[in-house]
Chain A
Amino acid sequence: MIHIQNIAKAFGEIRAVQDVSFDVARGELFGLIGPDGAGKTTLFKILVTLLLPDSGSATVAGRDVVQDFRALRQMVGYMPGRFSLYPDLSVEENLAFFATVFGTTIQENYELIRDIYVQLEPFKNRRAGALSGGMKQKLALCCALIHRPDVLFLDEPTTGVDAVSRKEFWEMLQSLKKHGLTILVSTPYMDEAGQCDRIALMQNGQILAIDTPTGVENRFAKPLFAVRATDTYRLIQDLRQAPFTITCYAFGEFLHLTTQDSVSTGTIDTYLTERHHKQLEIKPIRAGIEDSFMDLMQHG
């Protein structure tokens, strides 16, 4: 449904997107995961025909993003990262406006947005500018869907949104998938990657890896341990000094420690006990997306 081949785009000296290629299948929920500055937004703008690539080619729903841009714009829904609605129009007016621009009506495609829009209907006369963050995001999603696009592009829909609203948003995407939509979504939150069918990890304009979330996790090849003790600050310092340590980073209530091969929990325990750490807990663990991302960032 999306076919990207060797796309590159530079702004002056900054190479925002460098030789990126991947495909997204029909009906797939595909995640572009990476921090600010990775090149996610630039790639999105190229795919929705708002920016011309310097080189390479791409098609969306079989249409070329450069040659067939007019036809393509009818077929894609795009929710940009920044709030993109008219703050002085009401909720209902915004939705009606986007429907009209695409030559349709709210009624015609209501069934697609119903589950989301019912949550907004009590506020349909409120100005969009006066909505809370979570509600703005839901309205923007409705506006991107109202012409029943084949492919939905969501650029960082959950950035700056609290953990509860983020979870609700992903639940909405899962139910939209059932309507057969192809969805490309970007996010800087690694913990959201698991919601996608496949993901591309992106950093400094380049793709670090493309795989299923589990596939990405399985690429992590070093021994990995979760470690905890009473004094976290001193524990980090000590573990970073340890001869067997490759990296040591905080991960929630535990530290994640990557070590050289042939290091056991016993080795770590002895080292830390000698340094008088209390209530030690050390266990080997499977890597998560964030562990893999950090490893790929450092070692390519």
Chain B
Amino acid sequence: MDNAVTTNRLTKRFGDFVATDAITFSVAPGEIFGFLGANGAGKTTAMRMLCGLLKPTSGTATVAGFDVYTQSEQIKQVIGYMSQRFSLYDDLTPRENIRFYGGIYGLKRTDLKTKADAIIEELELGSVADKLTGSLPLGWKQQLAFSVALIHEPKVVFLDEPTGGVDPITRRHFWDMIYAAAHRGTTIFVTTHYMDEAEYCDRVSIMVDGQIKALDTPGALKKQFGADSMDGVFQILARGTSTK
């Protein structure tokens, strides 16, 4: 089976500044791929290119088999995206949010109803399905946002710090949902500042100053850097570069 994501020397410059510097990697279908790096290391720029939102300066990349230069519209149809900042409309109810996003992705009216019922049941949102999303606890919103990001059964879902500020139990429920989605074959591309979450990924890449400095399974990375946790690996790679 083809890779879900491939990049070859993918680069983005803003004037003199090289935000993403010739990164090369691939992600297998159904893999949970952790995309780590210090603030300003170039993660967001790389993610925007892969989502078809930003044209690269040079290099190549494909997502679900589509080219980021020429097929960005097709890419947007087959990926899901969720971040802490952009997720749901607070002034719509959970059910309206599901209908809205499902509609945007072209789901049929009957499928939408079935999907909405399934999501509300799975997340046990029955009692609040018709309240405004803005009034829900953050943890519920984040889980709903993840379900909505999966509503069109995307091949790859991009999660940008999905668990920031969430309580420790909800954070783990969220990862249960990520595991379940990956188990069903969805490829997960996730960034996080929680180093314990890096351990849950199949493989992890660490970006420093626009470049990928390490890429392997958490176990292999810990061995390679002689660290007993992913936090240790991260501190070794990223320290000294964070003051810029």
* A joins B in a complex: yes
Which A residues fall within an 8 A CB radius of B? Answer: 34-38, 119, 132-135, 159-168, 188-191, 203, 232-233, 236, 249-253, 290, 293-294, 297-298
Which B residues fall within an 8 A CB radius of A? Answer: 37-41, 137-139, 161, 164-170, 172, 175-176, 179, 183, 193-196, 199-200, 218-219, 229-231, 234-235, 238-239, 241-244
Name which of B37, B40, B170 has the most chain A CB atoms within 10 A of its CB.
Answer: B40
Asked if A188 contacts B183 (CB within 8 A), the reply is no
Chain A residues, CB < 8 A from B166? 35-36, 188
**Given A162-B39, A163-B193, A253:B165 Cβ within 8 A:** no
Name which of A159, A160, A236, A293 has the most chain B CB atoms within 10 A of its CB.
Answer: A160
Closest CB in chain A relative to B134 CB, distance in Å: 11
Asked if A167 contacts B235 (CB within 8 A), the reply is yes
Asked if B242 contacts A162 (CB within 8 A), the reply is yes
Chain B residues, CB < 8 A from A188? 164-166
Asked if B242 contacts A190 (CB within 8 A), the reply is no
Please count the residue pairs between chain A and chain B whose beta carbons lie under 8 angstroms apart in the complex: 100
- Which of A162, A190, A191, A249 is the one whose CB lies under 8 Å from B38? A162
What separation, in Å, do the CA atoms of A209 and B199 have in the docked complex?
29
Asked if A163 contacts B40 (CB within 8 A), the reply is no
Asked if B167 contacts A119 (CB within 8 A), the reply is no
What separation, in Å, do the CA atoms of A290 and B244 have in the docked complex?
32
Asked if B165 contacts A236 (CB within 8 A), the reply is no
Closest CB in chain B relative to A138 CB, distance in Å: 9
What separation, in Å, do the CA atoms of A235 and B27 have in the docked complex?
24
- Which of A135, A233, A252, A297 is the one whose CB lies under 8 Å from B196? A252
What separation, in Å, do the CA atoms of A134 and B40 have in the docked complex?
9
Asked if A293 contacts B168 (CB within 8 A), the reply is yes
A sample of 11 inter-chain contacts (CB < 8 A) reads A135-B244, A159-B164, A162-B37, A162-B41, A163-B238, A164-B38, A164-B238, A168-B243, A252-B229, A290-B168, A293-B168
Asked if A164 contacts B242 (CB within 8 A), the reply is yes
